[in-house]
């Protein structure tokens, strides 16, 4: 079966940055299983998987525009520590939900702490990066009606 429309795909992958460092990978014998065609992957990778079948391997370079977006300096802010009322121990890497000016909820992470000044960043950690995916398709199957209705995979490696 070819990958197209909404189907369930199992794949092994390695994700590298432009320097060749591995940023993420599926575990040995533990493929990523997802419902294709619902935005579960970055658009550039999902688009390149169309038409592939079980056993296919491919290398895909994904631009920031087709990945996690461009790095946006306006999403970085310095805030006073008192802005984090109710949080006693703030640490670099912590994530919080914040509302943008238009009411959109977004995740921000603490990038640095300098005394009582906290720098938060609303960019995805991979924003601005060209992503290099090495992919091996291990299985492609039709999605069940229930998976299509729920928008995710059920069973092994999916939601139960």
By the 10 Å C-beta count (0-12 exposed, 13-18 middle, 19+ buried), 59 is classed as exposed
* Pair (62, 36) in one structural domain: yes
- Whether 43 is covered by a domain: the verdict is yes
**Diameter of the chain by CA atoms?**
57
Q: Beta 117-121 vs 105-114: how paired, if at all? A: antiparallel
Report the share of the chain in percent with pLDDT over 70.
97
pLDDT of residue 150 exceeding 50, the answer is yes
Q: What is the pTM of this model?
A: 0.84
DSSP E strands in 29-153: the ranges are: 32-35, 57-62, 76-80, 95-99, 105-114, 117-121, 131-142
* Pair (93, 138) in one structural domain: no
pLDDT of residue 160 exceeding 70, the answer is no
CA distances in angstroms from 78 to 54, 85, 119, 129, 130, listed in the order given: 48, 15, 4, 23, 27
Residue 143 banded pLDDT, cuts 50, 70, 90: very high
- Whether 99 is covered by a domain: the verdict is yes
Return the CATH number at 112.
2.40.10.330
Q: What is the mean pLDDT of residues 33-52?
A: 96
Return the CATH number at 42.
3.10.50.40
User: What residues make up the domain containing 112?
Assistant: 73-121
């Amino acid at each position: 079966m070819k990958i197209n429309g909404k189907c369930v795909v199992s794949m092994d992958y390695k994700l590298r940055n432009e320097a060749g460092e591995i940023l993420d990978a599926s575990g040995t014998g533990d493929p990523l299983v997802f419902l294709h065609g619902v935005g579960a992957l970055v658009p550039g990778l999902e688009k390149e998987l169309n038409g592939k079948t079980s056993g296919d391997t491919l290398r895909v370079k994904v631009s920031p525009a087709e990945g996690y977006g461009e790095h946006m300096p306006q999403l970085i802010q310095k805030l006073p520590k008192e802005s984090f009322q109710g949080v006693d121990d703030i640490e670099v890497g912590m994530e919080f939900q914040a509302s943008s000016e238009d009411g959109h909820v977004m995740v921000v992470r603490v990038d640095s702490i300098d005394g009582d000044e906290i720098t938060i960043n609303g960019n995805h950690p991979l924003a601005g990066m060209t992503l290099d995916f090495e992919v091996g398709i291990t299985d492609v199957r039709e999605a069940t009606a229930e998976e299509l209705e729920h928008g995710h995979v059920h069973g092994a490696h999916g939601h139960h």
